[in-house]
Chain A
Amino acid sequence: MLNTSDILETIQMIRQDCLDVRTITMGISLLDVAGGADSAGCISNRIYDKITQKAEHLVATGEQIEKEYGIPIIHKRVSVTPLSLVGGSLDQDGYVEIAKAMQRAADTTGVNFIGGFSALVHKGIARGDAALMEAIPEALASTHNVCSSVNVGTTRAGINMDAVNICGNIIKQLAVLTEKQDCIGCAKFVVFSNVPEDNPFMAGAFHGVGEPECVINVGVSGPGVVRNAVEKHPDADLSQLADVIKKTAFKVTRMGQLVATEASKRLQVPFGIVDLSLAPTPAVGDSVAHILEGMGVERCGAPGTTAALAMLNDAVKKGGAMASSHVGGLSGAFIPISEDQGMIDAVNCGALSLEKLEAMTCVCSVGLDMIVIPGDIPVTTIAGIIADEAAIGMINNKTTAVRLIPAIGKKVGDMVEFGGLLGYAPVMAVNSFSSKKFVLRGGRIPAPIHSLRN
């Protein structure tokens, strides 16, 4: 029979340490319903039909696995081919219509989020990309579950500063259009550098062009479990602690792999990847910041935080890589503010600043995430923040992203409430000096040289 202590350990991980599968995300290719010269209505119908057909049993299957294995599966999501590749010759209004069709598909299938209202513009902006980007503010303001992303830079192509400026504008417009809902529109839009094509997490999930017709990707969430394991070893040195984290990550990821394999089998859709990211939630005890504090920094943001995060992130990957047959997506600790109680507390007590967060993103994914800034911050400053983060990704050959929420009418220290997994967050201070002249130069920051690495 199974070892009693192993069984009780698993039950404690689930019941007390908030272990769960964050998402089963079904990736669906829409390349075969691409538009050409068809009307928006025609393309929208084809998109709706394909998503609802492929994802018809996704939610029910997820719920069944959840029940049989006793593992909470928090979200069931869909990601689709970046729609700028599908929309053909549509204009801005046409893309808004497509976003509404995606929302209808989400309603029909019952999925929590649907991602892929996206454009890849790291080297330049094609006609469809421009129309889609113009449509983003209205598309996200008029839907609830549709998520959008734009990739503005890669290590091989450099950073498209024209796209960065457009994204700064999109973020500001989204905030204005959804002001009455605490600017929630911004929480559904993320700007990437080196975006992965198989990411199951929102808002940045889309189904890349190298992906199969349909695929199952799974993201796990285990900050509470890792924190508990770390806190049980208060006197271990860092070599020993890294081993503890690796072993814990192995167990968490094996659970994700089991769920992914089972979902893939039942839905008769190939398994893609397990994303090893530690994804926090606002629930007490499910915080990445609390792991870092368990490792020994007094508050997240104190000197030593970046080193602790680097070690944590690496140990999670090492443990997780052996537990899964295919690892992909973002696979790094997430450090959002609003979705992590420890981060919120660290900001409130003055331990954590935007600048320290930027430093932390150098050693983990996924960038400046769910950070609320004052609503009167100039668009060019938002573009400057995006450019900084994209540069970290470009130079270090890693994924970085920016999901900022300019809270209209709010000032530093005010609270903004999003609800659910998105949580709540205090408005953070932003450096008041201008980046206007730099970002408005436009053009492209050339791709970096990779032989002289220092």
Chain B
Amino acid sequence: MKAVVTVTGKDNVGIIAKVSVACAEKGANILDIAQSVLGDYFAMIMLVDVNHLDIPFVDFVDVLTALGNQHNLRIDTMHEDIFNSMHRI
């Protein structure tokens, strides 16, 4: 199973590093990253493989949400099928 991690918020130093470390600690393998900065605002989208997580996926969602809250970022971690079903016929 793959999940899409979307990080949005005001740009600050080390955002990618913080999210990547959290993913590595929990066993999520990063497959792809896209990011853009618009003015002060930052959006990063990561595709991660979550088949080998050492915690349940729903707990991994909580870990990243909490990380976002700590750094004034919004982190949404969602099963990739939600995007596939809405945007692909």
- A residues touching B (Cβ–Cβ < 8 Å)? 1-4, 6-11, 15, 64, 67-71, 251, 254-255, 257-258
Contact = CB atoms under 8 A, between A and B. Distances in A.
B86 A68 contact: no
A258 B80 contact: no
A44 B57 CA distance: 39
State the majority secondary structure of interface residues on B. strand
Nearest to B81: A258
A6 B80 CA distance: 12
Contacts of A10: 82-83, 86-87
B58 interface: yes
Nearest to A64: B58
B78 to A, nearest CB: 4
Contact of B61 (A1, A8, A68): A68
A11 B83 CA distance: 10
Contact of A2 (B57, B76, B77, B83): B83
Contacts of B79: 68-70
B62 to A, nearest CB: 8
B83 A7 contact: yes
A24 B76 CA distance: 23
Contacts of A258: 81-82, 85
Interface residues of B, number: 26
Nearest to B78: A70
Interface string B44-85: 010100000000011001000000000000101111111111
A10 B61 CA distance: 17
A71 B34 CA distance: 22
Contacts of B6: 7-8, 11
29 contacts: A1-B31, A1-B34, A2-B47, A2-B80, A2-B84, A3-B87, A6-B87, A7-B4, A7-B6, A7-B45, A7-B83, A8-B6, A8-B43, A10-B82, A10-B87, A11-B6, A67-B61, A68-B57, A69-B81, A69-B82, A70-B76, A70-B82, A254-B85, A255-B82, A255-B85, A255-B86, A258-B81, A258-B82, A258-B85
A368 B75 CA distance: 41
A103 to B, nearest CB: 30
Contacts of A254: 85-86
A71 B82 contact: yes
Contacts of A70: 61, 76-79, 82
A3 B86 CA distance: 12
B32 interface: yes
Output the residue of A8, A10, A68 with the most chain B CB within 10 A: A68
Contacts of A8: 6, 43, 45
A440 to B, nearest CB: 53
A6 B87 CA distance: 7
Contact of B86 (A15, A64, A251): A251
Contacts of B31: 1
A6 B4 CA distance: 12
B7 to A, nearest CB: 11
B58 A68 contact: yes
B76 A4 contact: no
Output the residue of B61, B78, B81, B84 with the most chain A CB within 10 A: B78
A1 B47 contact: yes
A71 B79 CA distance: 10
B4 to A, nearest CB: 6
A69 B78 contact: yes
A417 to B, nearest CB: 32
Given A10-B86, A67-B61, A68-B61, 5 more contacts: A2-B4, A6-B87, A7-B6, A70-B79, A70-B82
Contacts of A15: 74, 76
A138 to B, nearest CB: 42
Nearest first, the 7 closest Cβ-Cβ pairs linking A and B are A70-B78, A6-B87, A258-B85, A67-B58, A251-B86, A254-B85, A1-B32
